[in-house]
Amino acid sequence: MPDLPLRCSMVSVVVVRGRGGHARTLLVHRARAHLHGLWTYVAGHLEAGETAWQAARRELHEETGLRAASLYSADRCETFYDAREECIAVVPAFVALVDAGVEVRLNHEHDDHTWLSFDEAIARLPFSGQRELYADIQRAFVLQPPPEALRMPG
């Protein structure tokens, strides 16, 4: 009997500025064929020789022009069935804390962006796994200090 493979070739990045009830998170609007027209977070594929946290930093900068003041593991991976690749995708999630007033410069993958409260972002995200991820990040990184044990290098 054939097995459905597990594949870990992508990362996701939830961008946060501010703390507590004043925190805002960045959603980007997909302009490319995959997920076209949906609001989502920064995500992308690992490159050869790259760690997941390095890919998160690179994708954040490539897609938004932003650099994380601090980058953390979200301490969870998203898992979902990927029909395009016929696999179970395992996607490590990261939290990028950015400074207030940063300017977003989108690449060709997105045609719009918005900063929202976590409640607003959760209501706009298209997939239940994304909404659960944002709720976890709000509890563990926004409403309390981020766990230093999850801070990534750089």
How much of the chain, in percent, has pLDDT values that exceed 90? 89
Give the residue, 35 or 91, on which the prediction is more confident. Answer: 91
Q: What is the mean pLDDT of residues 14-23?
A: 94
Whether 59 contacts 14, CB under 8 Å: no
Residues 6 or more apart whose Cβ sits within 8 Å of residue 115? 17, 24, 25, 26
Give residues with Cβ within 8 angstroms of 148, minimum separation 6: none
CB 25 within 8 A of CB 115: yes
Question: Could you read off the pLDDT of 38-74 as tens digits, one per residue?
Answer: 999 999 999 999 999 999 999 999 999 999 999 999 9
11 vs 33, residue with greater confidence: 11
Closest among 108, 91, 111 to 29, alpha carbons compared: 111
What is the pLDDT, as a whole number, of residue 33?
67
What domains can you pick out in the chain, each with its CATH number? 6-149 (3.90.79.10)
Mean per-residue pLDDT, 134-154:
95
Look at residue 34 in the predicted model and tell me its pLDDT.
74
Q: Which residues make Cβ contacts (< 8 Å) with residue 57, sequence separation at least 6? A: 67, 68, 71, 96, 152, 154
